[in-house]
Structure 1
Amino acid sequence: MVRSTLGVVLMVGVLLVASACADGVGQTALSVTVTSHEDGVTVLGDRNVQIIGTVVGASAVTVSSAAANVPASVSDGTFEATLRLDDGANDLVVTASRGSESVTVTLELVYPFLDLSPFPVADVVIGGLRDDVDQSVSATSVAGPYSTAASDGGRLYLGDFEAQRVLVFDSFPEADGAAAAVVLGQPDFTSSGAGLGPASFNGVAGVAAADGHLFVPDRANHRVMVWTSPPTENGAAADFALGQDDLDSAASGCSVDRFLEPNDVAVAGGRLLVADNFNRRVLVWNTLPTSPSALPDLVLGQVDFDTCDAAGATAFGSILSVWADETRVLVADYANHRVLQWSTFPTSNGVPPDVVLGQSDFETTTASTTAAGLSNPHGVTSNGNQIFVTDTANHRVLVWDAFPTTSGVAADRVIGQSSFDLGAENDTNQDGSPGPGVSAATMAWPYFGTIVDGALVVSDYDNGRYLVFR
């Protein structure tokens, strides 16, 4: 199945038509035409898909997908049906029938879904080793992977917090031991160290890429660095920084134009979202900023841009990660052991979330090691259908196979442990204690996960590597 991180249905042709000759003299030819999805359909978060079309000469129309099969309503030559897709479904079949005759139209879908086996082993290890720890500084190693991942459709970007750099791969690595092609934040692949200026970092905490732009939160310099075209040379300077007046300043504050240790960025639906960690808020630009003077349009977690001390059950404790698409927002609230969900994208400041994961309600903030519990989750990501939470202190990733509509829903899958009640680091024999050794199925302080080109990329910090699950 061809996958798309945007979850868009891909179809060949503009209008899909099927027809059959009549069995008898004078009968109208049997035909069916699907008109509702000629430009594709987005299948994200809600598996209910509506199909509309026209039919000639048919007495019945059905729509099916895997095990699901529903009759369409037919009136005056048009038909309509709503079908709930099975997990991982990759096609819809529309069948028009008359007696023994039938014609079909098949719609090929892209339905992003990561169907992992229990206790999965990573398919690829980037920047480290499968059975040991290497935290050196080179083109093939990662000293401290405390970052999300990003792709611009070809190249892969990975942050290296300890070495104060971003590694750039020409393509998504298909095997262990891949070497980066370009490094940002340092002049070469063996240099490290923090700094301030147009080409230096002091705490790389995330990456996002879209429309040719690269966004990197530079945490301790209280800024988000922006490249307006993909950098192709080592040590390439950023074009500007959000949160600062210039590329040589590192002021912090609680205001519309300042950050306090921004930790993550997300780009979705033309918007930019920044997790402004110690200001306990998410800032939203409705269009991608093109200069340092561009100010955010919306704030979540606070009532306005000059307030950073919100209190209450839905206030953020410490936010380290944000994910969004065109209609929803997810925030990892590390200090309160939970993930907050907005099922509809907010349009005004301070709108509270409507669903919480990791807790039974918004008032509870207890850490736990269960299918419904979390302990210091740093990261959250999604492919539009599933939610992936890096449950850091439990050394695992929890997976929800659908967006919940109520709070406290238990996860469907776990990565990094063989069961929901285990939570030790590098528990290779799954006895509830660390070790022995390291494997590509276990983790030690996983901080962030990102869906990139349909795969889950997890930053496995203490093991000095990124794990890729497909």
Structure 2
Amino acid sequence: MFIPKLPFSNLGADIILGTREEFAVPLAPSAVSMFAPRGACLTSESGPLWVADTGHHRLLGWRNLPTQDGQPADWVIGQPDFFHEGQNAKGTPRNTTLSVPTGICVCGGGLAVADAWNHRVLIWKEIPQDSNVPADIVLGQNNFTDNRPNRNEQEAYAKTLNWCYGVFYHQGKLFVADTGNRRVLVWNELPSENGQPADLVLGQPDMFSRNENGGGTASASSMRWCHDITFWQENLVVTDAGNNRVMIWEGMPTENNTPCRVVLGQKSFDFVELNQGVYFPNASSLSMPYGVDAFGDWLIVADTANSRLLGWNNFTSSGVDADGLMGQKDFKSKSENGDFGLPKRNSVNWCYGINICGDIAVISDSGNNRILLWRLLYV
């Protein structure tokens, strides 16, 4: 049976960062090792590369695009050096500390990071090019020392965050997946002040609500656990991992709670079961998809709990089959590393993120404690 491939080089990842380990056990921090990285961002095709080394509560930075496996990082943010770890460097939050960093993206000429367990987004006005460069702006909190979810309020607000996981910047707008509040917040311009409120909300009827699926059943406008954001052919795309689906809007929404147009992973807006209610996946199902990005006509989704990447390049309706697959031998398989074996250059294990810069895909292969740099092919 012919299984269509995604536009990845058949040789596997060009570069693998991180130490080679059989299982996702905690690894001692160093300039090489990572523990369950959830996000990464190649800021240009030549670098720098910044990785959210989530389990070590830090960012690792490479000055240039790495050229060899296991290349050590040049910089660290969040810890005093490469050999320490701990939430907020085992102290109080500051403008150089992190607690479970996840999403990361280029925003304007700088960098934005979802600092999930500090319930905030950190923004650097310029891309850091040294260790422990302090962030310039914080969203979700009034200052750099507070870190309570929703600023310790019962309700959400336009200026608060709760377990924010993903960040994305597009045509001057900043998008944040405010996962714990089951919503996506949008700033119409890059924020310039600490705690600046968002301008638009998706997934909730207003800025104060935070119920799963808007307090009802899943719909075209509700979310459960949103995680990543991108644009595909100028259409907004959000991964809704808790509902085991990807939501796609037609264009850019301009009103609060705008419903999406189609979903991938489910046949209808009100169905939410992982793998559409059965154990094994198929060509149209998803299980906790976290990451998403676009490459040309391709929309590529990190189907995290199925340890695979799926790609679509032609669809107009919900629940259609994927056009490409990577990480498994066929659409019905879901084993870690394709065979429950050791990591390979072309395998993934609970891949949480994908970031594409030019023709380079940066895959956060979290279950293997590594980052894959994989050349994509224009076809």
Per-residue CA deviation, residues 91-129 of structure 1 (Å, 9 max, x unaligned), is xxxxxxxxxxxxxxxxxxxxxx972367x6222211233
CA distance in 1 between partners of 2:194 and 2:66 (Å): 34
CA distance in 2 between partners of 1:462 and 1:140 (Å): 16
More strand by share: 1
Q: CA deviation at 1:324?
A: 2.8
Q: CA deviation at 1:349?
A: 0.5
Structure 1's 131 and 355: CA in aligned 2 closer, same or farther, altered over 3 A? same
TM-score, normalising length from structure 2? 0.87
Pick from 137, 146, 150: which aligns with 2:29? 137
User: Within the alignment, does 1:258 sit opposite 2:163 as a pair?
Assistant: no
Q: CA deviation at 1:152?
A: 4.7
Equivalent residues in 2 for 1:206-355, closer than 5 Å? 206-253=103-150, 254-309=156-211, 310=214, 311-312=216-217, 313-314=219-220, 315-324=222-231, 327-355=234-262
CA distance in 2 between partners of 1:282 and 1:122 (Å): 32
* Matched AA of 2:197: L
Q: CA deviation at 1:384?
A: 4.7
* Matched AA of 2:199: D
User: Within the alignment, does 1:358 sit opposite 2:252 as a pair?
Assistant: no
SS in 2 for 1:397: strand
- Which segments of structure 1 move beyond 6 Å, counting only runs of 4 or more? 130-134
Per-residue CA deviation, residues 151-173 of structure 1 (Å, 9 max, x unaligned), is 15631111100111111111222
User: Does structure 2 conserve the Cα–Cα contact (< 8 Å) formed by 1:416 and 1:441?
Assistant: yes
CA distance in 2 between partners of 1:247 and 1:132 (Å): 35
* Matched AA of 1:387: L
SS in 2 for 1:205: strand
Which ranges of structure 2 fall in alignment gaps of 5 or more residues? 151-155, 276-280
SS in 2 for 1:245: coil
Once the two structures are overlaid, the 10-residue window that deviates more, 314-323 or 150-159, is 150-159
User: Within the alignment, does 1:421 sit opposite 2:332 as a pair?
Assistant: yes
* Matched AA of 1:216: V
CA distance in 1 between partners of 2:172 and 2:48 (Å): 20
Q: Percent identity?
A: 33
User: Does structure 1 conserve the Cα–Cα contact (< 8 Å) formed by 2:312 and 2:323?
Assistant: yes
Equivalent residues in 2 for 1:10-25, closer than 5 Å? none
Q: CA deviation at 1:205?
A: 0.7
Which position in structure 2 is the counterpart of 1:458? 363
Q: CA deviation at 1:251?
A: 2.6
User: Within the alignment, does 1:408 sit opposite 2:322 as a pair?
Assistant: no
Which position in structure 2 is the counterpart of 1:151? 43
User: Within the alignment, does 1:116 sit opposite 2:16 as a pair?
Assistant: no
Which position in structure 2 is the counterpart of 1:387? 299
**CA-atom RMSD, angstroms?**
2.1
Structure with larger Rg = 1
User: Does structure 1 conserve the Cα–Cα contact (< 8 Å) formed by 2:6 and 2:324?
Assistant: no
Which position in structure 1 is the counterpart of 2:278? none
More helix by share: 2
Pick from 78, 98, 102: which aligns with 1:201? 98
Per-residue CA deviation, residues 307-357 of structure 1 (Å, 9 max, x unaligned), is 222134231011111113683211111111110001211011000110100
Pick from 339, 345, 369: which aligns with 1:440? 345
TM-score, normalising length from structure 1? 0.71
User: Within the alignment, does 1:175 sit opposite 2:68 as a pair?
Assistant: yes
* Matched AA of 1:318: W
CA distance in 1 between partners of 2:297 and 2:122 (Å): 30
Corresponding residue pairs, total = 350
Question: Relative contact order: is structure 1 or structure 2 higher (C-alpha 8 Å, sep ≥ 6)?
Answer: 2
